[in-house]
Amino acid sequence: MTLALENLHFNYPGAGAGVRDISLEIRDGELLAVIGPSGCGKSTILKLIAGFLMPHQGVIRIGDQDVSSVPPRKRDLGIVFQNYALFPHMSIAENIGYPLKLRNVPTAEAWPRIREALEMVGLAHLADRPPRSLSGGQQQRVALARALVFRPRALLLDEPLSALDAAMRGEMRDEILRLQRLYGIATLHITHDQEEALSMANRVAVMREGRVLQVDTPEALYARPVNRAVATFVGHANLMDGEVLAENRVRTPLGDLACARHAFSAGAGVSVLIRPEAIRPVAAADGVNRFAGTVTRNRFLGSLRRFDFALSGGAKLMVEVDHQVAPPPAIELPPEALLVIASSS
Amino acid sequence: MSGVSLSGRPTGIGSAVLALYAVYLVVPMALILIGSFGNAWSNTLLPVGVTGRWYETLATNAAFQKAFWTSLWVCFATVIVSVLIGAPLAYAVATAKSPGMAMLGRIIYLTPVAAPAVVLGFGYMLAFSTETLPFLGAGWLTVAAHTVVCLPYLLQTLVADLKLQGIEQLEQAAESLGAPFHRRFLDIVLPGLVHSIASAAILVAALSIGEFQLTNLIAGFLHRTYPIVLLQAFYGASGFACAATVVLLTLALISAVAGAMVARKATFSGVVTA
């Protein structure tokens, strides 16, 4: 069922923080991740959808139903909380069965569904255990099973992996994706971890200061950020201030550079972006967009190597190359990889 | 130098302080116990002779018997009323949306701790000795007064436990799963509080059993509690006073040990510490 937010507006009483003019649509079976720095409003969006907060303006739709003023218990949304929120006095099976009990599902029907949910998350052998006896990853699986067992209309994930260690996070990413695909359910995933968002989501919404800056596929978001804020938040970026000279030329502190074609008019103040892996190491600074310099920091990161490359003018660029590449005497900024983007939102 | 090692074991000065405190705590109780079996005790470090007659006298003393049972029912009623009022009140304070409301709740329920018992007692005397409210000396007034005195301790325990459990998020989880308010309270809030209610109730019982200051001002002749009657024993034979005190001490110790056992069980089961 499609989940849609239309021009949503909310302010916390006595505080400036909140969200403004949020319009998003999560289609059936789609996983939309919302990312942004702390305090950007991403958790507020989840609370608004869940019904824990009431929007001051705008509409929340689940399918065709306007649920903006429907209480949380009647929205039929599965929610997975950051710290699991499992009921400590109930067993694993009782936790998973609780939404069925609330819906008066007869025991004869409920138990097979609880068993199926337990098997789906691989915890059938722990049905009678209390939540505290499980690891973080196992507890998160229970929370996921509990959120899905009553066949909700949409699934909301509130930083579900942030309490797990790195190894478990990778495993749980796959698990969440598997179940989300299995149920084919519209899913909103709130996270501050861009890697998590880019690797899991069909589309990603980047937020800042209560507004959505861009909604796009992970690939498009990385390759074509709409402005400096998005470029900064998603992946590593070399960013410079610039002034447009022509549709494929821009003036920067490094000099006048050839760049990818853009839609800005001449004289416009812009930001110029190049990703670290798009910069090419070359033997000499003898061509378009080529600069000599020295490597000031050389970090080995496994499959790749990250340099800080200081240009003779004093500017410094981050360069990523294959781990076998030696520190180069010069670099090239390929024009097609040099993007001209808006400086602000 | 720290008195406690990294492993949490007392060392050096810490051990000495602990030993001194134990002596300070145990010696008066031991003396009272010894005195209760002493035949006579006057101007000597320890009593002279051994006897069980003080306990026999106590067992046949109607005033003490009545006070004993009055203390028990006042204590029982105080526990019931405190829990019935305390559980919803603790929930309201722990889940108050506005910080101002939470603060107001705290001030109201902590006031009885801050105000001396004699002040509360005097207030009760003024309020309930009028023709309009002629209830001074009524048993239920003693229960009400004990509840006022004990409630802050129960609330402190319950509010702390609710916050420790992250009750707000547990409730949100239950609500998102379809639970209306009464189901959330009965299915999630109360079961999560079982252990802390039990240990707080025993604390309330221990406080109520030993309450003297306030009760002395408001309890009538018909509803004197054990500590009030015990005071009179101090003017008679030492052995009798000691035996009467041992009874009170035993009641208080039973409450304390039971409270500690419940708290320990709760800690191990992880409900309180979750």
Q: Is A242 helix (H, G, I), strand (E, B) or coil?
A: strand
Residue B72 lies in a domain: yes
Q: What is the DSSP letter of A134?
A: S
What is the least distance, in Å, from the CA of A130 to any CA of chain B?
10
Residue B120 lies in a domain: yes
Q: What is the DSSP letter of B184?
A: I
Residue B122 lies in a domain: yes
Q: What is the DSSP letter of A325?
A: P
Does residue A331 surpass a pLDDT of 60? yes
Residues 6+ apart with CB under 8 A from B100: none
For chain B, the domain total comes to 1
**Which residues in chain B are closer than 8 Å to A52, comparing Cβ atoms?**
172
Residue B2 lies in a domain: no
What is the least distance, in Å, from the CA of A213 to any CA of chain B?
29
What is the least distance, in Å, from the CA of A305 to any CA of chain B?
43
Sheet arrangement for strand A31-35: A77-80, A154-158, A187-190, A31-35, A203-208, A211-216
Does residue A238 surpass a pLDDT of 70? yes
Rounded Cα gap, residues A92 and A76, in angstroms = 21
Rounded Cα gap, residues A334 and A238, in angstroms = 13
What would the DSSP string read from start to end of A265-282? PTT-EEEEEE-GGGPEEE
The model's pTM: 0.79
Beta carbons of A50 and A62 less than 8 angstroms apart: no
Beta carbons of B192 and B167 less than 8 angstroms apart: yes
Region for residue A29 given its phi and psi (left: phi exceeds 0; alpha: psi -120 to 50; beta: otherwise): left
Residue B29 lies in a domain: no
* CB interface of B with A, residues 132-171, below 8 Å: 165-166, 169-170
Does the beta-carbon distance from B173 to A132 stay under 8 Å?
Answer: no
Highest mean pLDDT pick, A268-277, A285-294, B43-52, B224-233:
A268-277
Beta carbons of A337 and A275 less than 8 angstroms apart: yes
Domain that holds residue B129: 64-273
- B10 confidence band (pLDDT: 50, 70, 90): low
Does the beta-carbon distance from A83 to B170 stay under 8 Å?
Answer: no
Does residue B271 surpass a pLDDT of 50? no
Nearest CA in chain B to A72: B176
Residue B39 lies in a domain: no
Q: Which of A73, A89, A99 sits opposite B191 (nearest CB)?
A: A89
Q: Which of A50, A73, A87 sits opposite B178 (nearest CB)?
A: A73
The candidate with the shortest Cα–Cα distance to B140, out of B228, B227, B223, is B223
Does residue B31 surpass a pLDDT of 50? yes
Substitution target in B175, B177, B269 with the highest count of A β-carbons within 10 Å is: B177
B98: contact with A, CB 8 A cutoff? no
- B4 confidence band (pLDDT: 50, 70, 90): low
B68: domain CATH number is 1.10.3720.10
Query: ipTM, 2 decimals?
Result: 0.84
Does the beta-carbon distance from B170 to A87 stay under 8 Å?
Answer: yes
Residue B199 lies in a domain: yes
What is the least distance, in Å, from the CA of B262 to any CA of chain A?
16
Residue B177 lies in a domain: yes
